[in-house]
């Protein structure tokens, strides 16, 4: 994907098919037909946005997809119940923009509208196991996470060598985190032995892996809780590092199940950030959506 501030005018292919098919002509016109290079007034932009039509079924699917991908099982179940309740009251079944009757299957195997009978209309069964795996990683229990992944699908780690390396690297970080704890059974010697026997062979044929391993091994010289000579080293023992690994693992599990590795909502936000960048490069800026932070790696909310 091109940087949102870049000048590329082609829609990023990673999400063009899932987020642009239902774009209204009004929003396209707002972004492409303006001849002025002055910033568009917020009132004018709001007026054009108000002209955009959307289908409630598509919106429901977008929300449910986000809840499933991110692993919010309880929220997904409550959302499905609410939709069923609303459907029972209205006794009507909306159609999607493509004209499909609600309840039809979408390409990801998720029904477009949860009005059909059955507890698993949105295939929620896989969420709980994914969340247990995520919680294990984010709590530093890497061995447990690996065991759970292998029980779920042994081929995931076999076919994702970089992910396997990052899990083992996180395991090393956890050993180093606890090696200075008097109540812990781990020690710097054990951590070094694990690095040489398990991680060094994995990194030998991958220069980038070797760089990552060397950075982690600096924790031997600067053990937790610090201080650390650089933010890169401090980041290794942060909760964000655990979340980064758990996100990578969650994406691999979703991919193995035939789902997208990213929610369609995040894809839409990336498209929005990209579009804002293109318009800025053409000196046709529009009011930016608040609450979205752009980075060189994408967007966050």
pLDDT tens for residues 74-104? 888 898 888 888 776 665 544 444 444 444 4
Angle, vertex CA 50, rays to CA 45 and CA 51, nearest 5: 100
Measure the CA–CA gap between 60 and 56, rounded to whole angstroms.
6
**Radius of gyration, CA atoms only, the chain:** 23
237-254: pLDDT as tens digits = 999 999 999 999 999 999
Which residues, in sequence order, are CB contacts of 73 under 8 Å at separation 6+? Answer: 67, 124, 127, 128, 131
Q: Is the pLDDT of residue 159 over 70?
A: yes
Measure the CA–CA gap between 99 and 95, rounded to whole angstroms.
6
Backbone angles phi, psi at 101, to 5 degrees: -70, 135
Measure the CA–CA gap between 3 and 127, rounded to whole angstroms.
32
Least confident of 12-16, 74-78, 196-200, 223-227: 12-16
Best-predicted range by mean pLDDT among 11-20, 51-60, 202-211?
202-211
Average pLDDT, the chain: 77
Helical pair 142-152 and 239-256, crossing angle rounded to 10 deg: 10
Q: 298 forms bridges with which residues in the sheet?
A: 295
Task: Find the Cα–Cα–Cα–Cα dihedral 223, 224, 225, 226, rounded to 10°.
Answer: 40
36-57: pLDDT as tens digits = 566 777 788 788 878 888 788 8
Whole-model pTM: value is 0.66
161-181: pLDDT as tens digits = 999 999 999 999 999 998 877
Which residues, in sequence order, are CB contacts of 21 under 8 Å at separation 6+? Answer: 97
Residue 236: band (very low, low, confident or very high) from pLDDT cuts 50, 70, 90: very high
Q: Calculate the alpha carbon distances from 1 to 5, 160, 256, 277, 296 in Å.
A: 11, 22, 23, 12, 10
């Amino acid at each position: 994907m091109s940087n949102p501030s870049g000048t590329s005018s082609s829609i990023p292919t990673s999400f063009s098919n899932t987020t642009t098919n239902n774009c209204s002509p009004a929003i396209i016109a707002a972004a492409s037909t303006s001849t002025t290079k002055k910033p568009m007034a917020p009132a004018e932009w709001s007026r054009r946005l108000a002209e955009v039509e959307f289908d409630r079924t598509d919106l429901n699917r977008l929300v449910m997809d986000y809840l499933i991908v991110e692993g919010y099982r309880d929220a997904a179940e409550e959302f499905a119940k609410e939709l069923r309740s609303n459907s029972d009251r209205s006794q009507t079944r909306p159609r999607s923009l493509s004209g499909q009757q609600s309840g039809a299957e979408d390409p990801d195997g998720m029904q477009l509208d949860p009005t059909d009978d059955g507890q698993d209309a949105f295939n929620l069964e896989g969420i709980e196991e994914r969340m247990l795996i995520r919680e294990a990683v984010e709590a530093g229990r890497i061995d447990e996470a690996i065991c759970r992944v292998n029980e779920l699908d042994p081929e995931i780690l076999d076919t994702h060598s970089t992910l396997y390396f990052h899990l083992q690297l996180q395991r090393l970080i956890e050993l180093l985190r606890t090696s200075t704890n008097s109540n812990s059974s781990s020690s710097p010697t054990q951590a070094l032995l694990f690095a040489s026997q398990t991680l060094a062979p994995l990194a030998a044929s991958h220069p980038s892996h070797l760089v990552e391993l060397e950075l982690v091994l600096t924790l031997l010289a600067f053990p937790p809780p610090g201080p650390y000579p650089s933010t890169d080293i401090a980041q290794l023992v942060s909760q964000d590092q655990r979340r980064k690994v758990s996100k990578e693992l969650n994406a691999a599990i979703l991919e193995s199940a035939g789902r997208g590795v990213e929610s369609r909502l995040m894809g839409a936000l990336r498209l929005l950030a990209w579009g804002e960048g293109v318009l800025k490069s053409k000196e046709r800026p529009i009011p930016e959506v608040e609450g979205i932070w752009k980075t060189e790696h994408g967007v966050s909310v």
